[in-house]
Amino acid sequence: MNATTVSSSLASHLICSTCNTVSPIHEVQTYAHCCAKPLTVIYDFTKELSKASLLSQPNTMWRYAAVLPVLDPRNIVSFGEGMTPILPLNNLAATHNFKSLSIKDEGLNPTGSFKSRGLSMAISKAKELGIEHCVIPTAGNAGGAMSAYCAAAGIKATVVMPSHTPQSFKQECELYGAELHLVDGLINKCGVMAAEIQEKEGAFNISTLKEPYRLEGKKTMGYEIAEHLNWELPDVILYPTGGGTGLIGIWKAFHEMISLGWLKANVKLPRMIVVQADNCSPVVDFLNGEEKALVDYGESIANGLAVPVAFGRDMIAKVVRESGGTTVTVTDKEMIDGVKEVAKSEGLLMAPESAALWKGLLKLVDRGEVSRGEKILMINTGNGYKYLEHLV
Ligand SMILES: *Cc1c(COP(=O)(O)O)cnc(C)c1O
């Protein structure tokens, strides 16, 4: 960035999420090598920023640009991601006796999932930093999103994806001009190949939380939830957790809004609920003190949840504990039933990741951990259309 460029971003520096060691924002950053943990972007909240300033902002996640890390707005690569609706699930609520049940529909985002938030941010930052080649290990949606934003930014894209991923996820990467590598195994194995490509070809690695800015893109969901609900937060938020960026990001946004004075210091924050696949539940097992070996985790129809090792696991666990949240797992069969049930009753074709939220919610109600009278929000992280070959 040229020193004379005026920036409206309050971004100031990054810190290690464990020991707070500072890293500068004007240089290329990956993760905190001191502790081998993710970096967190810190903003200067001593500067005034009013809620009213949002009124003149675009109707996309970039309306929160002041609390995002792009320093020169000319570097923003955007397809209008964000500002997705919060839809009441009135029919399901009526049949199952819920008082306030709604879903934030992230399936409406560019490339059909909320990954577009993180990748719009990461690729805008990559462009700002002059990066010319990006590589990403992905379970599916992140690869498609990165391919699209790289195409628009004129950055070379390399995607590494499990070979069993539905065809649509592979095709979109190729249509956007990315180089696609298929690996027999899960995303952690793709991560090994991505690291090799990073090493050999000098590509910048956009792996979840090993790159600091996808988190900033995903945190905009937290800002939107507050703004859309007129700054009155839900009692519980259910989140389908793979790498956990969205969950960590929403929680970060709530705390930033307290610092900004947009939420009251004594606001009751939602309980954050981690939902994972029965077949691949490392975060749930960790929080229950029942850690398993890597080989015990397998694939799921919800490919976004087939993440056997989450680099940000400690950060996810902290959010669940701090918020008084909980965890639940759901089988693939339950997810498919859930997709069909929600599609038939609400006209909404969700990704199986999100159908897991609905089935998980019913289990939590049975267990007495969530009550039918609470204000419940689920995040539909993706569009079900990409998964059709596994759903019919
Ligand atoms: C990536 C993905 C997830 C998991 O998101 P994280 O923030 O990495 O936990 C959930 N659902 C869908 C559809 C995804 O693509």
State whether the beta carbon of 352 lies less than 6 angstroms from ligand 1. Answer: no
Local structure of residue 184 (DSSP, 8 states): S
Work out the number of other CB atoms within 10 angstroms of the CB of residue 2.
5
- Write down the H helix ranges in 291-386: 313-323, 332-346, 352-366
- Does residue 381's CB lie within 6 angstroms of at least one atom of ligand 1? yes
What is d(CA 139, CA 387) in angstroms, rounded to the nearest whole number?
12
Q: Is the CB of 351 under 6 A from ligand 1?
A: yes
Residues near 360 by beta carbon (within 8 Å), at least 6 away in sequence:
238, 273, 275, 328, 329, 330
Between CA 141 and CA 148 the distance in angstroms is 11
Helices marked H in the chain: 90-96, 115-128, 141-153, 167-175, 187-201, 214-228, 245-260, 282-287, 313-323, 332-346, 352-366, 388-391
Per-residue pLDDT at 7: 64
Q: What phi and psi values does residue 207 have, to the nearest 5 degrees?
A: -55, 140
pLDDT under 50 in the chain at which residues?
Answer: 1-5
pLDDT computed for residue 5 by the predictor: 44
Taken in order 320, 326, 330, 336, the sign of the CA dihedral is: negative
**Tens digits of per-residue pLDDT, 207-234?**
999 999 999 999 999 999 999 999 999 9
Determine the 3-state secondary structure of 99 from DSSP: coil
Q: Which of 104, 113, 117 to mutate to test the pocket of ligand 1 (most atoms within 8 A of CB)?
A: 113
Type of residue found at 258:
I
Kindly provide the residue ranges of all beta strands, DSSP E only, lying in 119-201, ordered along the sequence: 133-137, 156-162, 179-183
DSSP code for 68: S
Describe the chain by its helix, strand, coil percentages, rounded to 5: 45, 20, 40
User: Tens digits of per-residue pLDDT, 269-316?
Assistant: 999 999 999 999 999 999 999 999 999 999 999 999 999 999 999 999
Tell the residue number behind the tokens 């199986």, with chain if given.
352
Residue 139 to residue 141: CA distance in whole angstroms: 7
> Which amino acid is present at 274?
V
Give distance in angstroms: CA of 354 to centre of ligand 1.
9
CA of 208, closest atom in ligand 1 = 8
Tokens 């609920």: give the residue. Answer: 273
Whether the pTM exceeds 0.85: the reply is: yes
Give strand pairing partners of 316.
Answer: none
**Closest Cα to atom 5 of ligand 1:** 242
CB under 8 Å to 333, separation ≥6 — which residues? none
- Counting every residue written for the chain, the total comes to 392
Query: From the CA of 217, how far away is ligand 1's center (Å)?
Result: 13
353 C-alpha to ligand 1 centroid (Å): 7
* Residue type present at position 162: P
Q: What is the pLDDT of residue 230?
A: 97
Q: How many Å apart are CA 389 and CA 286, to the nearest integer?
A: 32
Largest CA distance in the chain: 59
Burial of 18 (0-12, 13-18, 19+ CB in 10 A): middle
Q: Confirm or reject: Cβ of 338 under 6 Å from ligand 1.
A: no
User: Does ligand 1 come within 6 angstroms of the Cβ of 300?
Assistant: no
**pLDDT at residue 1, as a whole number:** 40
Cα torsion through 35, 40, 41, 44, rounded to 10: -90
Tokens of 83: 């500002």
